[in-house]
Structure 1
Amino acid sequence: MKKTEYAIVDIETTGGNASGSRITEIAIIIHDGTDVLERFETLVNPQKEIPLPIFALTGINDEMVRDAPVFDDIAQQVFELLKGRIFVAHNVNFDHSFVRHELGRAGLKWSAKNKLCTVRAARKIKPGLPSYSLGNLCKALDIPLLAAHRAGGDADATAILLCELLECDTEGTIAKMIKNNAQDQRLPPNLPPEDFDQLPEKPGVYYFYNQFRTVVYVGKAKNLKKRVAQHFSGHKITPQRQNFLRDIYAISFEVCASEFMALLLECCEIKKLWPIHNRALKKFDPKIGLYEYEARNGYKYLAVGKLAKHQRYVEMFHSLHDGVNLLLKLAGQFTIDYRFIHYGTSKDETIAARDHTTLPDMERHNNAVNNALEFVEASRPSYAIVDKGRNHDERSCIWVEKGHFYGMGYITSDIAIAEVSEIKDHVTPYQTNGYIMQLISTYASKYPGKVLKPGLRSTIENYSYDTI
């Protein structure tokens, strides 16, 4: 019976991502788990300049690769060596992405049917070591590493490491790992498999952490396990994706009652933590605010202008057009003199000089401004959205206070709520923003039966699951 054959691969490159970088050196060792059957090693002309930091790491410079073959010249040979064999590398997805991309450029469609990552295998078979980098593993296990950061030297060390792991693998760990489409093989190299295994198939929010235990990404999901797995599937090789996967060292999660609760929590956590790999929700902040201030002469002004940090505003808008429309409506409805309303300015910005002769009565004018502000505040409703909980003994609750998101949480069945406004005391407060209120308003309009307003007879006690 023919032994299983492994293609142990190591490459050196001009950079960290396959789409924008090229291979400068490749070594492939064909191994049967006991002996080396064949060995291939060559420098490769990347047809681009080798950056100085890469030269400092590998010692490979432009002069060394000038007369080396380009990858197209060796592509067929590489393809034949890899075909039908288990692709093995230390951090296998990195090497696999480069080799797959380079073969594709040469017109050869290839993807390893089975892969084995010696980083992951070592974590499972040799647990408890302080580091699983190739250099540190070689020191810990007394494996000779004669030419670190060169393809041949690293491939030779990886071959010896593979032999030792196979010898120590009394529980068939490697056989399980190399099964076709094994999930463990698709996980980021630095992520412990148990972090993924613990994910439930429920709605919620998940957090990716880097090696310093800093949150680098927050996401929401209808099914936590399925959504997180999608991050690690596919063959995208963009720099952003590769940097993202290399940054993931741990996962935590919080189960939510529904995808909508997860969406709100995701928005709040992104605004709070500002993770480096979250981009989409960072651009939805309102840009315009309605301000009220009093000048030195005692007259009150209303102005619409850009929002500024730590500056109090009456209302916020996604566009200057919306803000100006409200300002003009208030001025007309409450007969506020046009000289005391400003567009595109706030109290901290320069205001063009205006005619201040024959000013209106100050008290009457200020009362009109106050009435306009009271009208704005009164037009902002307070209400709760009550929905199903994470189990049958609780319900999820969202509280909106005077038109602004106040907080959300869960209320268990043993908590008595006599008046809807009491829900406010049982939710976790979060910082509001215009995007979250957009989501809540849309949801409330779509599901009016889940909305409870203060003063109505309906309370959380008689709000049955049938209603939900």
Structure 2
Amino acid sequence: MLYAVVDIETTGGHASANGITEVAINIHDGSEIVESYTTLINPKRPVPMHITALTGIDDEMLVDAPSFEDVALQIYQLLRDKVFVAHNVNFDYSFLKHHLAAAGYELNCRKLCTVRLSRKLIPGQPSYSLGKLCAALQIPIQNRHRAAGDADATSILFKLLLNHDQDGIISEMLKKTSKEQVLPPHLDKASVTRLPNHPGVYYFKDNKGKIVYVGKAKDLRKRVLSHFSGNKPNRQRQDFLRTIHSVDYVTCGTELMALILEANEIRRLWPENNRAMKRYEHKYDLYAFEDQNGYLRLAIDRHKKNIKALHSFNNLLEGYNYLNRLVEKYQLCARLCYLQKTVTKCLAHENGQCFGACSGIETVAVYNKRLNKALLEIESEQPSFALVDEGRNPDEFSCLVVEQGKFYGMGYFTDKNFLNEGLSPIKNDLAVYQSNSYIINLILNHAEQYPQKLYKL
């Protein structure tokens, strides 16, 4: 078996927007290097100053260097039938696969990561970065942060790892059924294989244990592994993979419960990589208040965290349509409901739809009586019910509770008749969560799809 021990230098951290400035490939037969190849490459873009400071490679050095297209065939022929070996292999592999594809060559190699191998075969090291690991193991590095120097040091490290492998770990990692090489370099495979094939929420953590991403899953193990499949070259993915050091999880009875827990956990923890859910907010709410003349008034306004809303809407049009229906049904004043902005009496007064509350003709008591009827309708539209479903094991039932149109909480019970005495006795056994229109819509859609799970309270 032949191995291609590879190191590259680049203009940045992700392949889709950066070029390669240097490539070194050592062909290794398991005992020694049998062939070496190295070349500078003109990336056809400026080398950033911080990259020059790190590697010593500047624009002037690359003026007469070949373009990647000029050397792509030679690189492809060196790599195509070998095991691709590198320190943090997915970084080097993603760059070469991306740029070879652009040149018309499809790279598909088995991979070995010397970071992951070192963690398994030489455990307990204070650091597994190439420089610090080689220093600890007394492996010399000439020309650090240059492709040839780092590739030579990685080759020595790889031979040492081969010699340490008395239990066939490398052979196991190279099997097609092994997911080892798709994992981030710092994530232990055991932390993924212990994940159950059940619904739940998972937490990716960095080297300090800080949660950097929260996700939900119908199948925890399958979903977590899906994050690492493929070799997408964009910056966000590459930075994300380098951050992950561990994964934790919480099992849930159903996928719906996992969705709700995920939404609440993202709001609670605010992980840096959960962009989509961070942007979600209630857009508009319906509020009621009493003005200085004593008239009750309804208004659609943007969501306010510290004011209780009567109803929530995803957009302004939805809110206005709802309010217009109430105005027409209960003959409310459009101006007092902020649907008209006239200074004097509202336009509806002339055709008999408004009885003059806007101009003081209709008394406060009479007008507020009709508006209170509208408030009672709004309240009656806010349902109270439970959704009973599967639990986390065959001896358990899950329960989601909505009270007066707001999500209250969820929990697990072993007694099938736990709802016989109503909601109050089980409230103390439910974990309470925040409610918003996203969560309510999830629950209502589920209740509509599975009416047999619904218990009205």
Normalised TM-score (structure 1): 0.89
Equivalent residue in structure 1 for 2:145, among 119, 142, 149:
149
Residue 77 of structure 2 aligns to a residue in which SS?
A: helix
1:163 to 159, 166, 172: 159
The correspondence of residues 370-389 of structure 1 with structure 2, limited to 5 A, is 370-389=372-391
Counterpart for residue 134 of structure 2: 138
- 1:445 Cα offset (Å): 1.3
* 1:174 and 2:170 are equivalent in the alignment: yes
Equivalent residue pairs, number: 444
The aligned amino acid for 2:220 is: L
Name the structure 2 match of 1:59.
Answer: 56
Match of 2:94 in 1: 97
Unaligned runs of 5+ in 2: 346-357
Moved more, 305-314 or 244-253: 305-314
Structure 2 residue aligned with 1:435, among 430, 435, 438?
438
Q: Which residue of 2 aligns with 1:361?
A: 363
Aligned equivalent of 2:351: none
Partner residue in 2 for 1:82:
79
- Cα contact 2:80–2:108 (8 A) shared by 1: no
Residues 330 and 372 in structure 1, CA contact (< 8 A), matched pair in contact too: yes
Q: How far is the alpha carbon of 1:117 from its aligned partner?
A: 0.3
Shift of 1:414: 8.8
Q: Which amino acid in the other structure matches residue 445 of structure 1?
A: E
Q: Matches of 1:178 and 1:297 in 2, distance apart?
A: 79
Native 8 Å contact 1:118 1:162 kept in 2: yes
What CA distance in whole angstroms lies between the structure 2 residues aligned with 1:115 and 1:425? 52
Equivalent residue number for residue 464 of structure 1: none
After TM superposition, give the deviation of residue 282 of structure 1 in Å.
Answer: 4.1
Measured in 1, the distance between the counterparts of 2:419 and 2:242 equals 48
Q: Is the 8 A contact 1:208 1:215 kept in 2?
A: yes
RMSD: 2.1
Amino acid at match of 2:7: D
Q: Which amino acid aligns with 2:445?
A: T
Does 2:250 align with 1:254?
yes
C-alpha displacement of 1:359: 4.4
Do 2:90 and 2:231's aligned partners in 1 also have CA atoms closer than 8 Å?
no
Question: Is the deviation greater in 206-215 or in 184-193?
Answer: 206-215
SS in 2 for 1:47: coil
Name the CA distance, whole Å, in 1 between partners of 2:186 and 2:67.
32
* 1:432-468 CA-partner distances (Å, limit 9, x unpaired): 11111111111111211211112xxxxxxxxxxxxxx
SS at match of 1:201: coil
Match of 1:10 among 7, 13, 36: 7
Matched, 1:288 2:284: yes
| Equivalent in the alignment of 1:449 | 452
Are 2:343 and 1:341 equivalent residues in the alignment? no
The one-letter amino acid of 1:379's match is E
Contact 2:204–2:214 (CA under 8 A) maintained in structure 1: yes
Are 1:5 and 1:30, in contact at CA under 8 Å, matched by a contact in 2? yes
Change (3 A) 1:311 1:64: farther
Post-superposition CA distance 1:190-237 (Å, at most 9, x none): 211121111111222212122332322222222211121111112322
**Which residue does 1:401 correspond to in 2?**
403
| Uncovered stretches (5+) of structure 1, i.e. residues with no partner | 345-350, 455-468
TM-score for both structures, normalised by structure 2? 0.92
* Of 312, 323, 328, the match for 1:332: 328
Q: Any conservation in 1 of the 2:335–2:342 contact (CA below 8 Å)? A: no
Deviations 1:407-442 (A, max 9, x none): 111112298543231333321111111111111111
1:353 positional shift: 4.5
Q: For 2:78 and 2:94, how far apart are their aligned partners in 1?
A: 17
Letter in 1 for 2:5: I
Distance 2:339 2:90 in 1: 55
- Pairing 1:300–2:296 present: yes
Using the TM superposition, give the Cα deviation of residue 42 of structure 1 relative to its aligned residue in structure 2, in angstroms: 1.4
Report the Cα offset of residue 343 of structure 1: 4.1
Per the TM alignment, residue 127 of structure 1 is displaced from its structure 2 partner at its CA by: 0.8
Residue 117 (1) aligns with residue 119 (2): no
Corresponding residue of 1:457: none
**CA 176–298 in structure 1, closer or farther in 2 if over 3 Å, else same:** same
Rounded Cα–Cα distance in structure 2 between residues aligned with 1:438 and 1:208: 27
Greater mean alpha carbon deviation, residues 263-272 or residues 69-78: 263-272
Q: 2:185 aligns with which of 186, 189, 193?
A: 189
Give secondary structure in 1 for the equivalent of 2:105.
coil
**2:4 partner amino acid:** A
Range moving further from structure 2, 74-83 or 440-449: 74-83
Q: How does 1:225-264 map to 2 (within 5 A)?
A: 225-264=221-260
User: What residue identity is the alignment partner of 1:331?
Assistant: V
Rounded Cα–Cα distance in structure 2 between residues aligned with 1:155 and 1:414: 63
Give, in angstroms, the shift of residue 15 of structure 1: 0.9
Instruction: Please give the secondary structure, in 2, of the residue aligned with 1:308.
Output: coil
| CA deviation string 1:41-80 (max 9, x = no partner) | 1111001111122112212111111111111121122122
| Corresponding residue for residue 412 of structure 2 | 410
Write the distance in 2 (CA, Å) between the matches of 1:357 and 1:409.
52
Q: 1:297 Cα shift?
A: 3.2
Instruction: Tell me by how many angstroms 1:92 deviates.
Output: 0.5
The CA deviation at 1:257 is 1.5
Percent identity between the aligned chains? 48
| Partner of residue 350, structure 2 | none
What is the alpha-carbon distance in structure 2 between the residues aligned to residue 253 and residue 379 of structure 1?
A: 37
Q: 2 CA distance for matches of 1:343 and 1:442? A: 30
Secondary structure of the residue aligned to 1:328 is helix
